[in-house]
């Protein structure tokens, strides 16, 4: 059953030419309100796009030298080239981004090699999107075939400036952080021109029934897969390699789960960032908000408070992990800015978190691309638009229309798009 579900999901995700409407078609200048990241039900229930006020984001963008970098982007069903993603980034006041290559426990039969997919987006982005390479650590015979995977990783890491680090998702691939395989992966990254390890730390909803349904087995959320202190020996050994703890150890499981850590992995992540010069925190996904502006993960605000209390603005990097559906990047960014201000980060600290720290950690060149400017008018609405409004994910209707126009067939369209959009709210914690 899980394989059939995966096939249908893949149909929805990989029939990727155009949503039929460009991002600017959803822009207007009236009736907007500040919003957060797309809530878990937004993609299924929101038939009308909800406006998001980005005026404060625009002010922040200008204040930070026209540079806000989103280090956590994914390939997604709604684009098959860089252009649609670049357009949404422009409308959201995001100057540059990093796209993650994802190798899951099941290969996607409708997609090419993930590193190659990422490379195609990077090459078409005019220097505005960079890649994070990866490898498949779930192959059954690592002893005989592991070197091929490490070579795959090394090959793409050598393609600098396009690729700027390596991505690892330990809980999803059941890779122990203190294993020999992890050591081999870190060693390969450390010997490359891009010695940055971008590593999921913390739990995932796939540690349970959802994992069984989607992958045929749950992900692994025992301490050896999610506790960052299991990395400490590697952090100490590879001092010239930067370790970025993705999601900063956040819990993405309910408090009654056997794998709920009550913020312990956050505390340990903060400790490691305080202790070691080569450790940074990445803060994507856990600041999402629901339809009424309530926090989906109540721990999210507390994580920012812990980072602020520890004085770690200079070791914290912004990422969203929400572009699995269109029109989500700007809303999550607006929520994050509100949360940064509420946590007491000053303007200088916020600019470090939004761009400066990413430039330093990934070795990006300051001002290497021309700052994107949002469109000054919207022909769709026949009125001037100052680029301060975007729309949240427009929902199932858009996906169904898109799949219908691609010739997938009405039945497969309805089934596949329902599956895709049902899973989309959880996709941010996939990798």
CATH number, domain of 362, equals 3.20.20.140
Give the pLDDT of residue 364: 93
Specify whether the CB–CB gap between 289 and 295 falls below 8 A. yes
pLDDT value at residue 212: 79
* Tens of pLDDT, residues 305-330: 999 999 999 999 999 999 999 999 99
Binning the chain into helix, strand and coil, the percentages to the nearest 5 are: 45, 10, 45
406 pLDDT exceeds 60? no
CA distance 154 to 148: 10
The confidence score (pLDDT) of residue 58 equals 97
Q: Tell me, what's the pLDDT at 393?
A: 46
- The helix (run of H) or strand (run of E) holding residue 156 is helix 142-157
- Model confidence over 133-182: pLDDT tens digits? 999 999 888 999 999 999 999 999 999 889 999 999 999 999 999 999 99
**Number of separate domains in the chain:** 1
pLDDT of residue 52: 85
Tokens representing residue 382 in the block? 């026949």
pLDDT over threshold 80, residue 11: no
Integer angstrom CA distances of residue 54 from 18, 61, 117, 413 = 25, 10, 30, 33
- Whether residue 30 is predicted with pLDDT greater than 90 in this model: the reply is no
Look at residues 420, 324, 421, 365 and name the one whose alpha carbon lies nearest to residue 72. Answer: 324
| d(C-alpha 282, C-alpha 140), whole Å | 31
Range of the domain at 165: 2-429
Average pLDDT over residues 8-22: 38
At 15 the three-state DSSP class reads coil
Q: pLDDT tens, 60-93?
A: 999 999 999 999 999 999 999 999 999 999 999 9
- Is the pLDDT confidence value at 43 over 60? no
Say what the pLDDT of residue 320 is. Answer: 97
83 to 87, 128, 129, 333, 348: CA distances (angstroms): 6, 11, 11, 20, 31
Residue 337 has pLDDT above 80, yes or no: yes
Q: What's the pLDDT at 389?
A: 56
Task: Report the alpha-carbon distance of residue 394 to residue 374 in Å, rounded.
Answer: 20
Residue 56 and residue 371: Cα distance in Å, rounded? 17
Give the residue-averaged pLDDT of 264-287.
98
Q: What is the DSSP string of 81-146?
A: SHHHHHHHHHHTT--EEEEE----SS--TTS--HHHHHHHHHHTTTTSEEEEE------S-HHHHH
Lowest mean pLDDT among 273-277, 279-283, 399-403, 408-412: 399-403
């Amino acid at each position: 059953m899980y394989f059939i579900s995966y096939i249908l999901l893949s149909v929805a995700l990989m029939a990727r030419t155009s949503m039929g409407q460009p991002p600017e078609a959803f822009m207007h200048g009236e009736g907007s309100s500040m919003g957060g990241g797309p809530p878990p039900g937004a993609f299924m229930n929101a038939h009308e796009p909800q406006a998001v006020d980005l005026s404060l984001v625009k002010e922040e963008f200008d204040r930070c030298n026209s540079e806000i970098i989103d280090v956590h982007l994914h390939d997604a069903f709604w684009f098959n080239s860089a252009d649609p993603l670049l357009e949404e980034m422009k409308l959201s006041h995001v100057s540059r981004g990093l796209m993650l290559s994802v190798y899951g426990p099941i290969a996607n039969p409708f997609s090419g090699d993930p590193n190659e997919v990422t490379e195609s987006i990077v090459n078409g982005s005019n220097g505005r999107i960079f890649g994070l390479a990866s490898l498949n650590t779930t192959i059954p015979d690592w002893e005989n075939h592991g070197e091929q995977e490490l070579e795959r990783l090394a090959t793409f890491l050598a393609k600098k400036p396009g690729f700027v680090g390596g991505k690892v998702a330990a809980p999803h691939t059941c890779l122990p952080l203190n294993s020999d395989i992890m050591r081999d992966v870190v060693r390969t990254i450390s010997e490359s021109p891009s010695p940055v390890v971008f590593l999921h730390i913390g739990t995932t909803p796939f540690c349970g029934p959802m994992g069984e349904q989607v992958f045929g087995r749950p992900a692994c959320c025992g301490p050896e897969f999610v506790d960052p202190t299991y990395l400490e020996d590697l952090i100490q050994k590879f001092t010239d390699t930067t370790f970025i703890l993705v999601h900063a150890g956040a819990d993405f499981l309910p408090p009654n789960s056997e794998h709920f850590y009550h913020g312990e992995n956050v505390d340990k992540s903060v400790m490691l960032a305080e202790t070691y010069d080569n450790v940074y925190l990445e803060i994507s996904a856990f600041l999402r908000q629901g339809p009424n502006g309530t926090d989906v993960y109540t721990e999210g605000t507390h994580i920012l408070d812990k980072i602020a209390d520890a004085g770690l603005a200079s070791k914290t990097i912004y990422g969203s992990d929400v572009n699995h559906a269109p029109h989500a990047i700007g809303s999550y960014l607006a929520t994050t800015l509100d949360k940064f201000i509420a946590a007491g980060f000053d303007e200088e600290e916020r600019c470090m978190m939004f761009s400066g720290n990413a430039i330093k950690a990934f070795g990006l060149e300051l001002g290497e691309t021309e700052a994107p400017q949002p469109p000054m008018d919207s022909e769709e609405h026949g009125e001037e638009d100052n680029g301060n409004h975007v729309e949240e994910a427009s929902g199932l209707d858009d996906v169904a229309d898109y799949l219908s126009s691609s010739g997938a067939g009405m039945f497969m369209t309805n089934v596949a798009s329902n599956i895709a959009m049902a899973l989309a709210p959880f996709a941010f914690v996939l990798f």
